[in-house]
Homo-oligomer: A and B are copies of this chain.
């Protein structure tokens, strides 16, 4: 009879316990959590604060009693595992309710302690009104601050997943919300231009955005907190949310001699084994091997944690299954927008010195003529040599999850740009387009690869270069409504053939349209006639996402 101890009872730990039990009825399984709850819906916490999830109870997916009944797993909550002795194969546990300590022996030990919110080293930061959001208790504390202490003004520090979800939740609760982000844009884990629509959406919902600002000092002023930011900004709030990221919980592991990787998280092999015999680790505490470049990265996500738990559970009872790396598929709802990503970003690739090409496309989530179509912006990043997908990011109101999921599968399967063209996605007007935006992205990338439609990116375009002629081929009303780029002349696409005399063959013609599609038609036309031509990648829409200047017509 195998005796399995599991440290941490949320995503990874609970998955492992259930899987081990399903495979081995005879194993003794004991799960420890220093909190009061196991298997709670971590990702649902912001949505109970917002009021979307009405019942607190519905966040508790399993209780110690239900887990015992269903899986015959003994769950010990409010018990903290303080140390591991790999020699004797025992752990030392302290019952937090009584203060008593005891040892427990194991045949197999799984560490699933998760990650802890980072507390930034800012003077005065920790106050009774300062909360992170990681546990049921955190959530309860925030709700009490709103409901019992009538907080009216909140400041969220950190504009990543949790920060943005909290901003939305607090706005839904009627609070005035300031968002402070050190980076130049919110959602720092995507590329700047892809996050730009989020800034608009946040402002549209009344959020005051302080990107590129650092919080320097927190002080009590009366019953409120006064926050001093760089650039001489002072904010006042009744509730301070700390959402600057998490760090893996590794103290228990490292004290026992378990190795950490370069990211600082616990190092495991693909069977979720640590360097110590019979000790496994999963979830937000472990270092991931990235699917794209096999780099060691810290990627705390619920999906991988659950799958890793299932794998460790199987392997602890004699299985031999492997975890096949992490792609970093993630999505975040920000009011009416969703932003999602898979693989590596341009920022990450640049930092890692990995060569890449990129494509921008913008198109409706379903056939434009069917009501309710909303725009999607998609960035596809691929390897210039293998043509495989390195990463993708998408932002829009609808169908964002679908496109990134499709590209996630394609990436995992190793499909090339050319093979992406062949993808056959379901089409009916309410659901998609006969040529889906994913196909479109592949067409555009393929045209760039084979040289038939060269593009220039906003950051590479010098509008003052005398060797360039900027031609905006949109129709006059579009220019009047949306603006154009300085120095651009306007020749609508449908008049291009008849107005070739305006084009100087000695110059490189840079074509501007709205999203790059008509620009492709124009680029091909001129290129076929012997002009040197570049299409502005992703059109004027991408130009504005890059924050480039526009002029009114």
Q: Using a CB–CB distance below 8 Å, which chain A residues touch chain B?
A: 11, 18, 21-26, 41, 43-44, 47, 52-54, 58-59, 61, 66, 69-72, 161, 165, 291, 301-307, 310, 323-324, 326-333, 338, 340, 342, 367, 369-371, 401-402, 404-406, 408-410, 412-415, 419, 421-432, 434-435, 439, 443, 452, 493-495, 497, 520-521, 524-525, 528-529
Contacts and interface: CB of A to CB of B under 8 A. Distances in A.
Contact of A520 (B22, B303, B425): B22
A148 B323 CA distance: 65
15 contacts: A11-B434, A22-B521, A43-B427, A43-B428, A43-B434, A69-B494, A165-B428, A306-B434, A306-B435, A310-B443, A331-B428, A401-B425, A402-B402, A405-B405, A408-B425
Contacts of A439: 307
B494 A307 contact: no
B41 A367 contact: yes
A182 to B, nearest CB: 23
A434 B53 contact: no
Contacts of A70: 493-494, 521
Contact of A424 (B44, B47, B412, B424): B412
Contact of A409 (B58, B413, B493, B529): B413
Contact of A524 (B23, B333, B405, B406): B23
A338 B431 contact: yes
Contact of A369 (B61, B66, B435, B452): B61
Given A70-B494, A429-B44, A520-B22, A424 B333 contact: no
B424 A408 contact: yes
A47 B370 CA distance: 8
A329 B302 CA distance: 30
A474 B209 CA distance: 50
Nearest to A291: B424
Given A303-B427, A401-B432, 16 more contacts: A11-B434, A25-B525, A52-B370, A52-B371, A69-B494, A303-B435, A306-B435, A307-B424, A310-B443, A329-B425, A329-B427, A330-B428, A331-B426, A342-B426, A402-B402, A406-B409
A3 to B, nearest CB: 16
Q: Which of A54, A59, A421 has the most CB of B within 10 A?
A: A421
A249 B326 CA distance: 49
B329 A431 contact: no
Nearest to A426: B331
A185 B443 CA distance: 39
Contacts of A26: 528
A419 B321 CA distance: 12
A459 B81 CA distance: 51
Nearest to A520: B22
Contacts of A414: 413
Contacts of A426: 329-331, 340, 342, 401, 404-405, 408
Nearest to A493: B70
Contacts of A23: 452, 524, 528
A523 to B, nearest CB: 9
Contacts of A422: 307, 323-324, 412
A66 B494 contact: yes
A201 to B, nearest CB: 15
A105 to B, nearest CB: 23
A421 B308 CA distance: 11
Contacts of A493: 70
